[in-house]
Structure 1
Amino acid sequence: MTDTRNTIDAAKTWRRRELAKLALGAGIAASVGPWISRHAAASGVVKVYAWSDYIYQDMIESFTKETGLDIELSKYGSNDEVFNKLKASGGKGFDLVMPTTNEGTQWYDAGGLLQPLDESKVNIDAIYPSIYEQSVDLGGTYRGKRYILPFNWGTEGITYDSEAFKTSYGELSMGDLWRPEMVGKATVRQKSALIAIGRTLDAEGKLQSNGMLDAYKDEETSRKIFEQILPIAIEWKKNVKKFWNSADDTYNAFNQDGCVIGLTWDGPGIKLGQTTNGRIKYLMPKEGGFAWLDGMSIPTGAENVEGAYAFINHMYRADMGASMANQAGYNSVVAEAVNLLKPEAKTAFEAAYPAGAVDNLWWWPIITPWFNPVRAEYVEKYTAA
């Protein structure tokens, strides 16, 4: 609990320089009340198009009770699905959508699908400041205007068997995946492994890649970096017992295949901990875990814009953030939501993200059209070697 409070208190002291940069004005209040009353006059139905496991019935009922607005909820299962639907309709049909932040480039390149957001209408103070700040460079803004606000996030970190491998936060490293004693005992996802190896080499001063961010800079630079990573990745491949591509693969790696350590999603890592009485643990490496960020946006064809803002602010309530996290297993961007988590979820969160860990996350950069084909080429070479 102390670590969580330290993280939140530290976050509240941040100077909010991104707010000034985006000219949000000085009238943003920190309390919840003004955000409810400001939008109480909005009426009708708010049409929300969300990921299939993000919005739950208790969240809808709370919103309707608080605002008098009804929610018409539609669900999707991929970024391509929501993007293609909005592109086909010219940005019409919904009042709020939830794109992944680093996918913003395709929305902006398509033009006219999302409208710039008036952040003076949004309770920005509810968000972890470090996550809000990171979202600017991850694709949440375009040409100085905000189009995607943070909603929830998840990570890819280190899952390990604490009886076979002793470590702690601040000591645990991505480099531990490649230790000599881990030969035949690790599980990784290929595309993440290449980036993780690059980050390990960079941290050790053996690769100049700006923490692997330069691999996303341009195709020529990316290829030069991957060419340096590939032979080392092939050499270290002897440590990999199993490549995973799903949560079930991760469970099997530890429960059936004898893996001791892995670079895994947070969900399976945390669940493994719960099913082994804490023997298997999920923790952020000292280099910072990989992180993804999904958001909230208002399409250009929204018919109930004020209702959409009311929905956004309702989602920025601590109880709504906790409700989503408790039911979906993802992490809310609302800093105070952690204090309302169910005991088992709160314990898992605090264990995975000790004080300072959220601020130290490595967010997946903006995806440009050329990057995925380049990475896929090197993933194929790595897998086939």
Structure 2
Amino acid sequence: MAINRRHFIASASTILATPFILKAHDALSSSGSVKVIAWGDYIQPNIADKFEKDTGINLELTTYGSNDEAESTIQANAGKGFDVIFPSITNSQGYTNASAPNGIYLKMLDMNKVNVDAIIPSFLRDSAALGGTFNGKQVLLPFDWGTEGITLNRSKMNISDSDLSYGDLWKPEAKGAAAFRQKSVLMGTGLYLDAIGKVPSNRMLDVYKSEDEARRIWGDVTKFILEHKDNFGAFWNNATEASSAFSEANCAIGQTWDTTGLLLNRENSDFVFRAPREGIITWLDSMGILSGAENTDQAYAFINFMLQPEVGGMFANNTGYNSAVVGAADFASDEFKRQFNEVYREDVLSNMWWWQADVPHFTPVRNEFVEIITNA
């Protein structure tokens, strides 16, 4: 998927004339509630309150901090107990199960009940290749996108935007001060080692080709990381831990989600989030309805509520992530727009590295190397 500034601004700033929302009286199932399980920072009070006020539907919210946590929860409950979920779209394979209806704990969506015109067309178009469909049917809808790059405290490590690299995590001046999520640093450091010709990997895309290639590449990347383990400052696995790596563990540099650096920057301008020259790692999150959902009509009402431009803008302002809703940019704050323009220059948008749809060997092999790094 390719994004450029003109495409993003043009797509995100076109407002729909008539938002399509199911009201409470349209939700004919047995309950006036909807049970949502989402990332911890996604459904903040201003969004929850507006949903309940606008629809009359009671929102029951459960949160998680990682895709692994979400997948294990749904697998353990056989797709029951919740109505709507927000997985990363590339992780749809984590919801497959031979015992699940149709082989997956996600419903085949009735696209006639979804305001699909509210989604930026290129995201919806490309969602199939990234994991949004199962057996040719749409199971996940694009909702928002964001990135992993470098959060940097420039009062401690003053590296220019043009020189910034994933390899900077391993510089001598980052000793004991580098923060990262183990499964992500395997990819970021891999991109760096590929760029300098030390571990060829076709920009890390070859780890998806076969188990043998994944083991070769991640094995060499892990060896390099362990040779620089004195730089380990903090591991993180969710947004709170990523922020704490800087605010409490005093890390100077880290490979983090964009929202980590952007929110730190709002409090202290010494912190910046920037794209490494090897390419910023990009993800696409989604919304879907679980196979065991008991409140299906309310679930569609919730999805269509979240696809309103105003709500997309509220979400972006709350989190720092980028909405996939047409027109959401018109409701984003000036601060959000400033940060977007600082980070996502045209050269950055043309050099994004997208997480690919998971293949069967990917997660179990990667987890082996994550464990090696963790135990180091």
SS in 2 for 1:33: coil
CA displacement at 1:72 relative to structure 2:
3.7
Q: Is the 8 A contact 2:149 2:258 kept in 1?
A: yes
4+ residue segments displaced more than 6 Å: 38-41
Structure 1 stretches lacking a partner, 5+ long: 14-28
User: For the structure 1 residues 135 and 174, does the alpha-carbon distance in structure 2 shift closer, same or farther, using more than 3 Å as the test?
Assistant: farther
Q: Is the 8 A contact 1:46 1:95 kept in 2?
A: no
**Corresponding residue of 1:362:** 353
**Corresponding residue of 1:315:** 306
Q: Is the 8 A contact 2:52 2:59 kept in 1?
A: no
**Corresponding residue of 1:282:** 273
User: For the structure 1 residues 5 and 217, does the alpha-carbon distance in structure 2 shift closer, same or farther, using more than 3 Å as the test?
Assistant: closer
Q: Is the 8 A contact 2:208 2:362 kept in 1?
A: yes
Q: Is the 8 A contact 1:32 1:317 kept in 2?
A: no
Query: After the TM superposition, which of the residue ranges 108-117 and 71-80 deviates more from structure 2?
Result: 71-80
Superposed CA offset, 1:129-181 (max 9, x none):
5544553333211222210112234432111233542412x553323434566
**Corresponding residue of 2:255:** 263
Superposed CA offset, 1:70-119 (max 9, x none):
23423142656665665576655554333332331132334313222233
SS in 2 for 1:296: strand
User: For the structure 1 residues 241 and 205, does the alpha-carbon distance in structure 2 shift closer, same or farther, using more than 3 Å as the test?
Assistant: closer
CA displacement at 1:254 relative to structure 2:
4.7
Q: Is the 8 A contact 2:152 2:273 kept in 1?
A: yes
Query: After the TM superposition, which of the residue ranges 330-339 and 74-83 deviates more from structure 2?
Result: 74-83
Size of the aligned set, in residue pairs, is 363
Q: Is the 8 A contact 1:12 1:129 kept in 2?
A: no
**Corresponding residue of 2:60:** 73
Instruction: Please give the TM-score of this superposition, normalised by the length of structure 1.
Output: 0.76
Q: Is the 8 A contact 1:254 1:260 kept in 2?
A: yes
User: For the structure 1 residues 202 and 123, does the alpha-carbon distance in structure 2 shift closer, same or farther, using more than 3 Å as the test?
Assistant: farther
CA displacement at 1:350 relative to structure 2:
3.3
5 Å matches for 1:290-309?
A: 290-302=281-293, 305-309=296-300
5 Å matches for 1:1-385?
A: 6-9=6-9, 11=11, 31-33=16-18, 35-36=20-21, 42-44=26-28, 45-51=32-38, 52-63=40-51, 66=54, 68-77=55-64, 91=79, 94-110=82-98, 111-112=100-101, 113-129=105-121, 131-163=123-155, 164-168=157-161, 171-179=163-171, 186-237=178-229, 240-245=231-236, 254=246, 259-276=251-268, 278-302=269-293, 305-355=296-346, 357=348, 360-367=351-358, 370-382=361-373
User: For the structure 1 residues 361 and 48, does the alpha-carbon distance in structure 2 shift closer, same or farther, using more than 3 Å as the test?
Assistant: farther
Q: Is the 8 A contact 1:138 1:363 kept in 2?
A: no
Q: Distance in 2 between matches of 1:323 and 1:135?
A: 23
Q: Is the 8 A contact 1:7 1:355 kept in 2?
A: no
Q: Distance in 2 between matches of 1:134 and 1:212?
A: 20
Q: Is the 8 A contact 1:187 1:244 kept in 2?
A: yes
Superposed CA offset, 1:306-349 (max 9, x none):
44333222211121112223334544322532332334344333
- TM-align CA RMSD: 3.9
Query: After the TM superposition, which of the residue ranges 98-107 and 175-184 deviates more from structure 2?
Result: 175-184
CA displacement at 1:282 relative to structure 2:
0.7
CA displacement at 1:281 relative to structure 2:
0.8
User: For the structure 1 residues 303 and 254, does the alpha-carbon distance in structure 2 shift closer, same or farther, using more than 3 Å as the test?
Assistant: closer
Q: Is the 8 A contact 2:206 2:214 kept in 1?
A: yes
Q: Distance in 2 between matches of 1:356 and 1:123?
A: 32
SS in 1 for 2:199: coil
Q: Distance in 2 between matches of 1:101 and 1:175?
A: 28
SS in 1 for 2:290: coil
User: For the structure 1 residues 30 and 280, does the alpha-carbon distance in structure 2 shift closer, same or farther, using more than 3 Å as the test?
Assistant: closer
Q: Is the 8 A contact 2:179 2:236 kept in 1?
A: no
User: For the structure 1 residues 48 and 353, does the alpha-carbon distance in structure 2 shift closer, same or farther, using more than 3 Å as the test?
Assistant: farther
Q: Distance in 1 between matches of 2:116 and 2:351?
A: 20
Q: Distance in 2 between matches of 1:356 and 1:104?
A: 30
User: For the structure 1 residues 162 and 144, does the alpha-carbon distance in structure 2 shift closer, same or farther, using more than 3 Å as the test?
Assistant: same
Percent of aligned pairs with the same residue?
Answer: 38
Q: Distance in 2 between matches of 1:90 and 1:259?
A: 40
Q: Is the 8 A contact 2:16 2:327 kept in 1?
A: no
Superposed CA offset, 1:204-231 (max 9, x none):
4443323212223332221111233233
* Paired letter, 1:49: V
Q: Is the 8 A contact 1:325 1:331 kept in 2?
A: yes
Q: Distance in 2 between matches of 1:257 and 1:84?
A: 29
User: For the structure 1 residues 5 and 313, does the alpha-carbon distance in structure 2 shift closer, same or farther, using more than 3 Å as the test?
Assistant: farther
Q: Is the 8 A contact 2:37 2:82 kept in 1?
A: no
User: For the structure 1 residues 359 and 30, does the alpha-carbon distance in structure 2 shift closer, same or farther, using more than 3 Å as the test?
Assistant: farther
